Chain A
Amino acid sequence: ILNVEQSPQSLHVQEGDSTNFTCSFPSSNFYALHWYRWETAKSPEALFVMTLNGDEKKKGRISATLNTKEGYSYLYIKGSQPEDSATYLCAFCGSGGGADGLTFGKGTHLIIQP
């Protein structure tokens, strides 16, 4: 069973502050790394699918970086807003190309305090 770790488990951030959290995954047999945002009472939604070492992706105030050689990805949120409160999930896709499905971390639960 693959080990995908996310830290921290939970995070309280003041509105307007920037924050970041980490996803660690196996550095071998890498195919892709996914990030999802899961708001309470809603479906998880994809933020990014990253495949290349050194890749950086951005969507509004949220960005992510990827280091496949050392097996980690960072998710950054700039100028946090209350609507950013959610659980952020990362998921590792091995070189089987998804033949074994994605392996999810336990998530980082982010709470933005007004």
Chain B
Amino acid sequence: DGGITQSPKYLFRKEGQNVTLSCEQNLNHDAMYWYRQDPGQGLRLIYYSQIVNDFQKGDIAEGYSVSREKKESFPLTVTSAQKNPTAFYLCASSQALTGELFFGEGSRLTVL
């Protein structure tokens, strides 16, 4: 079945460590996104990519990095520069920037 796969579902990290969250899609979508959710807040955009080898910062990109080497894959690295990385992270894709989003099941990162 077509869809978005995120891994891992749960991740624990020590302070000062970088971690990478995986996002893979087999929907042949051009656009991919990373959102962050914190309690009591709406989803906030971290990064998005419209095409391979191109990506743009969202509202809260500081302390994060991404790559888009393949159409199917859009990994997110949470670096040690991210001040408050504990959160729930959602990856999504869409056929076009204006189209409906298809989401993964999310990754919950906890910094110990």
Q: Determine how close the nearest CB of chain A comes to the CB of B87; give it in whole angstroms.
A: 14
Q: Interface readout for B11-48 with A: 1 if CB under 8 Å, 0 if not? A: 00000000000000000000101010000111111001
Range of interface residues on A (Cβ < 8 Å): 20 to 34
Given contacts A1-B59, A44-B90, are A102 and B40 in contact (CB under 8 A)? no
Given contacts A44-B90, A101-B58, are A4 and B98 in contact (CB under 8 A)? no
Q: Is the CB of A102 within 8 A of B105?
A: no
Q: Is the CB of A101 within 8 A of B45?
A: yes
Q: Is the CB of A102 within 8 A of B101?
A: yes
**Partner pick for A32 among B33, B40, B59, B98, CB 8 A cutoff:** B98
Contact residues in A for B99 (Cβ distance below 8 Å)? 49
Q: Interface readout for B31-72 with A: 1 if CB under 8 Å, 0 if not? A: 101010000111111001000000010110000000000000
B96 at the interface (CB under 8 A from A): yes
